[in-house]
Structure 1
Amino acid sequence: MSDGTEQTKKFEPKQTVQLAPPKDDQITPEYLSKCNGTNEGYPTLVAIKGTVFDVTGKDSYAPGKQYHVFAGKEPNRALASSSLKLEDCTPEYEDLAEDKKKVLDDWFTFFSKRYNIVGKLQSDTGSNL
């Protein structure tokens, strides 16, 4: 059994990344959808489990690149399933098996060590449940 330190280290970036303090700005799903790398004047954002990361300037999220399918979305299900299919880029993940949820948690850790947190995604319902 590991204390978690070894597990966390495997997600460390190869080069040191200076991250800004996390923000908790409220970001609407509508705004997030515009942040897909194709709209001038908008950053490129990816949300994971309600936390919004700024991936602007990272080539792999640019139009036509491998991870562009995630840009402007909350692709929890796709990340948990290691899928690059557009139809899997949905926020719902609660019904997934525990091993898939662990993969999603690993992606969250990966992103949090590389990209600035710029806000929290507002829920569509507006409730705080």
Structure 2
Amino acid sequence: MTGGKFEPKTPVALDPPKDTPISISELSAANGVGDAKAYVAIKGKVFDVTGNKMYAPEGSYHVFAGHDASYALGKTSTKPEDVKADWFSLDDKEKGVLADWETFFTKRYNIIGKVEGATNF
């Protein structure tokens, strides 16, 4: 997506994206509970959302922390059963919504790696 639609209100200084392998267990542990970091993966890319209260245990998006939330984001769903990596069954409109979320995250959060063994790029 181009244009200012997804630009953050205040500029964010981001590190260059990394492709460090992140295991499923490492991703799962980054669930924002206690002192844990909070990571959300989209299409196999792992974003560090630590510090955003929305992903903390009391936050609206905590269900995504520690998971690849591609399918749920495409569906605009916060149902735990929708939080899964496989997004290929989404319809075209939902795939567009997922692409928008990916752009949104890319402009706000550091990409710290890729889910090890992910096939949902």
Would the TM-score normalized by the shorter structure come out above 0.5? yes
- Which one has a bigger Cα radius of gyration? 1
Using the size of structure 2 for normalisation, the TM-score is 0.93
What is the alpha-carbon root mean square deviation over aligned residues?
1.4
Letter in 1 for 2:19: D
- Report runs of 4+ in structure 1 exceeding 6 Å deviation: none
Letter in 2 for 1:20: D
Any idea what SS the aligned residue of 1:38 has? Answer: coil
Aligned length: 119
Equivalent residue, structure 2, for 1:59: 53
Equivalent residue, structure 2, for 1:108: 102
Any idea what SS the aligned residue of 2:47 has? Answer: strand
Matches within 5 A, 1:14-93: 14-40=9-35, 42-93=36-87
Structure 2 residue runs of 5 or longer lacking an equivalent are none
State the Cα distance separating 1:39 from its structure 2 match.
5.0
State the Cα distance separating 1:5 from its structure 2 match.
3.1
Equivalent residue, structure 2, for 1:5: 2
Structure 1 residue runs of 5 or longer lacking an equivalent are none
Distance in 1, matches of 2:53 and 2:29, equals: 18
Identity of aligned residues (%): 50
